[in-house]
Amino acid sequence: MLKESFLEYLSLERNYSDKTVTSYGTDIAKFEEYFKGVDESLDFTVVDGDIIRGWIVKLMDEGYEAASVNRKLSSLRSFYRYLLRRKLVEADPTQKVVGPKRKKPLPVFVKEADMDELLDAVDFGTGFKASRNRLIIEMFYETGMRLSELVGLNDRDVDFSASVIKVTGKRNKQRLIPFGGELKEDMLAYLSLRDDYAADASAFFVGKGGKRIERNAVYLLVKRYLSKVVMLKKKSPHVLRHSFATSMLNNHAELEAVKELLGHESLKTTEIYTHATFEELKKVYEQAHPRA
């Protein structure tokens, strides 16, 4: 039997674990069950790409994720490569079969109302740390900068007269991000308190011992404050970056402009946020329209 020969090869010659061999065997057996249901006279040596594509469609209809379907297809590819090498089949029917594309998860973001509550209603306390912590949240949300960009920010990177921040992104690529009057006031208020703590003369944000604030400290404080207003599974600086992009597009910013502000190389990377805003729009429609 072709299947048994292949599984023996995996176990004895490739030294695959029993669990892996069983997984391959299950995938191949399920495929055989499928094509026998299509035509009882079929066997592994005569099935073609159309049969395999039909199997993929059936799996997707049954609710399998693309990753699971591709793993099963990978089992089948290995099986047919084995049969072809041993001249047990004349052609590999999987060769021209393309598996389903993995669906990219939509970015997690905080709604504008929740961000307003966090920045306007949550008590951050008083003093230097309170001012710094609130400003970090505000800066992520109002500029869309990355965690590494915020931590690496220096005093000389902030031009208060022009109201722009120069950030150094991936591959040391620099870009300018404008900021508004409220953020400007909050930055100046923070700096007036920071100078009594700063040991690092260049770093904009300082932490323990007055030295440049560490990435982990920023990550934890963002997570702590986001937990006060949202129940999201992910609570990180990157969620605030997503929130910035989503808010900009929801308020009619051009996609190209958002791309430049985020420092994306390609417009395709930024386009994922249009899907996020559309998903939100669909939810509003379904909740509000009487015939939805």
Give the catalytic positions in this structure: 146, 170, 238, 241, 264, 273
- 3 state DSSP class of 169: coil
Look up residue 121 and give its two tokens. Answer: 């209603």
- Residue 142 · residue 180 · CB < 8 Å: yes
β-strand partners of 165: 158, 177
Look up residue 65 and give its two tokens. Answer: 């994720």
β-strand partners of 176: 166
Can you give the C-alpha Rg of the chain in angstroms?
Answer: 27
Alpha carbons 133 and 118: distance in angstroms, whole number = 12
Look up residue 290 and give its two tokens. Answer: 């009487």
> CA 162: distance to chain centroid?
33
Where helices occur in the chain by DSSP H, the ranges are: 2-12, 18-38, 49-61, 66-85, 112-120, 128-143, 147-151, 181-194, 215-226, 237-250, 255-262, 267-288
Select from 96, 100, 91 the least CA-distant residue to 70. Answer: 100
- 3 state DSSP class of 170: helix
Alpha carbons 80 and 197: distance in angstroms, whole number = 67
